[in-house]
């Protein structure tokens, strides 16, 4: 009897051990670039996925910023210690397309049975990440575009109840606001995504030759020869006249803080900051968002997307890919993915299915969320054109840095605008030629 009990106990231990082994989850690593409050949202979504089932586990690791996520992933890939999935921002698209390190999203979806309606993605989003033949090599994820944040109470002082639709109207409003006692009508900084990229897209202006680089690696920048230069000179004139102020963390507050606390009556920024304004605005402040002004009323092209997409990395096991596929399904689904991101950030849904789900639930009628649909209107303001599909320039992060540095030099009086933008263009083209040399003989997908 005693022997039987011991055998039974041993068998029980073995069974428990086998059960524990059977329940061990398949893990994979996901690296993301979002930080702060947005990074917390990412971490929570990973937690929710892990709680939703018992077969897989996403090990989610914040990288401390978009730039670092890209750099760290490239370094880790060379050391064969890379994640299976990584969040890469818009500017890194061409680098990853040419890296030879990625598992194209369309092929991954087919291989691991992810049912994706690629046509459901908004064209203004899909075209930024698609190849020249329209194939999606990454999964659009957190997306945004630029909007005008404006203080309705301040505009009421000059007898207006609608946001300005053109930059000429905006300039007249700034003058009137100053005369009405508003000390700062407009807050801006040296951001290129806002000032150059969005401005050029919605006004149909080229940033570079060869359709902003989509036509090949031989593209050269030409932003210094378009209306962008006049636009920046106007900003400088507004600043000198006291209508507008530079707002950065180095010289004061950032744009969103300066708008939310009522310091400045307007600013341009990402729709992703909508929730931040709503939660930090001055008590009683009456505000809204509108599409960015254009140069000429009635001539508006779609704005371009910001944010990031999800890239699958090569060199992992089928088991890790199976787990990653389950995670991708979860975070891109309209309910567990797009809705979650929209409710907890200012980012917008990336598919028509996600947008329709939110509309059907009255999302855009709720306090705190109303107005975010303006971003969708901006992204779909026209059919996508060769100049509004996006920007496909190598090492575009470095080009952004050059333009930003030269804008700062111009706005702080170190250079005139023409010289600053010409210098930025020269150094940007040097970056492009080095990139072309690095990938000599390669064709853009």
- Span 152-201, pLDDT tens digits: 999 999 999 999 999 999 999 999 999 999 999 999 999 999 999 999 99
Q: Is residue 316 a contact partner of residue 28, using CB atoms and an 8 Å limit?
A: yes
Say how far apart CA 264 and CA 251 lie, in whole Å.
15
CA 119 → CA 116, 214, 352, 417, distances in Å?
Answer: 9, 20, 9, 42
**Overall average pLDDT of the 68-73 stretch:** 95
Per-residue model confidence (pLDDT) at position 187: 97
**Overall average pLDDT of the 254-274 stretch:** 95
Token couple for 12? 């029980």
**Overall average pLDDT of the 286-296 stretch:** 97
Per-residue model confidence (pLDDT) at position 17: 43
10 Å CB burial of residue 7 (0-12, 13-18, 19+) is exposed
Domains of the chain listed by start with CATH number: 26-144+305-365 (3.40.190.10), 146-303+394-438 (3.40.190.10)
Identify the CA nearest to 349 among candidates 365, 362, 360, 333.
333
Q: What is the DSSP letter of 264?
A: S
Who has greater pLDDT, 190 or 16? 190
- Span 80-124, pLDDT tens digits: 999 999 999 999 999 999 999 999 999 999 999 999 999 999 999
Q: What is the DSSP letter of 1?
A: -
Say how far apart CA 309 and CA 118 lie, in whole Å.
14
Per-residue model confidence (pLDDT) at position 248: 87
Of the pLDDT bands very low, low, confident and very high (cuts 50, 70, 90), residue 252 is low
Per-residue model confidence (pLDDT) at position 367: 87
Q: Is residue 319 a contact partner of residue 191, using CB atoms and an 8 Å limit?
A: no
Q: Is residue 339 a contact partner of residue 354, using CB atoms and an 8 Å limit?
A: yes
- Span 361-395, pLDDT tens digits: 999 999 889 999 999 999 999 999 999 999 999 99
Of the pLDDT bands very low, low, confident and very high (cuts 50, 70, 90), residue 6 is very low
10 Å CB burial of residue 362 (0-12, 13-18, 19+) is exposed
| pTM beyond 0.85, yes or no | yes
**Overall average pLDDT of the 208-229 stretch:** 97
Say how far apart CA 316 and CA 11 lie, in whole Å.
36
Q: How many residues does the chain have?
A: 445
**Overall average pLDDT of the 427-443 stretch:** 95
């Amino acid at each position: 009897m005693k022997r039987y009990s011991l055998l039974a106990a041993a068998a029980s231990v073995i069974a428990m051990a086998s059960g524990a082994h059977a329940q061990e989850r398949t893990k994979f690593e996901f690296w993301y670039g979002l930080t702060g409050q947005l990074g917390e949202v990412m971490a929570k979504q990973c937690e929710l996925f892990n709680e939703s089932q018992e077969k897989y586990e996403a090990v989610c690791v914040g990288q401390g910023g978009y730039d670092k996520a890209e750099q760290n992933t490239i370094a880790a890939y060379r050391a064969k210690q890379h994640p299976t999935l990584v969040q890469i921002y818009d500017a890194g698209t061409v680098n990853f397309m040419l890296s030879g390190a990625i598992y194209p999203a369309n092929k991954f979806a087919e291989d691991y049975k992810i049912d994706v309606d690629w046509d459901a993605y908004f064209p203004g989003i899909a075209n930024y990440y698609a190849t020249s033949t329209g194939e999606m090599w990454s999964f659009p994820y957190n997306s945004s575009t630029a909007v005008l944040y404006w203080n309705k109470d301040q505009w009421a002082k000059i007898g207006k109840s609608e946001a300005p639709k053109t930059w000429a109207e905006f300039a007249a409003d700034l003058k009137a606001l100053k005369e009405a006692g508003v000390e700062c009508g407009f807050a801006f900084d040296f951001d290129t995504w806002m000032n150059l990229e969005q401005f050029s897209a919605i006004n149909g202006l080229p940033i570079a030759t060869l359709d902003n680089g989509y036509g090949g690696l031989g593209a050269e920048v030409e932003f210094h020869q378009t209306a962008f230069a006049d636009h920046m000179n106007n900003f400088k004139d507004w600043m000198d006249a006291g209508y507008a102020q530079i707002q950065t963390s180095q010289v004061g507050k950032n744009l969103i803080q300066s708008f939310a606390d009522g310091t400045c009556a307007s600013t341009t920024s990402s729709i992703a900051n909508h929730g931040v304004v709503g939660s930090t605005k001055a008590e009683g402040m009456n505000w809204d968002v509108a599409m960015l002004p254009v140069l000429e009323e009635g001539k508006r092209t779609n704005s371009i997307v910001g944010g990031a997409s999800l890239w699958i990395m090569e060199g992992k096991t089928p088991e890790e890919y199976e787990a990653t596929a389950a995670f991708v399904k979860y975070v891109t689904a309209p309910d567990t993915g797009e809705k979650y991101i929209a409710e907890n950030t200012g980012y917008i849904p990336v598919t028509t299915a996600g947008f329709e789900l939110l509309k059907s639930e009255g999302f855009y009628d709720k306090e705190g969320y109303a107005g975010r649909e303006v971003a969708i209107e901006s992204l779909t303001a026209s059919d996508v054109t060769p100049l509004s599909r996006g920007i496909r320039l190598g090492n575009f992060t470095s080009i952004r840095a050059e333009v930003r540095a030269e804008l700062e030099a111009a706005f702080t009086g170190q250079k005139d605008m023409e010289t600053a933008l010409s210098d930025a263009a020269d150094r940007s083209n040097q970056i492009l030629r080095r990139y072309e040399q690095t990938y000599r003989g390669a064709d853009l997908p």
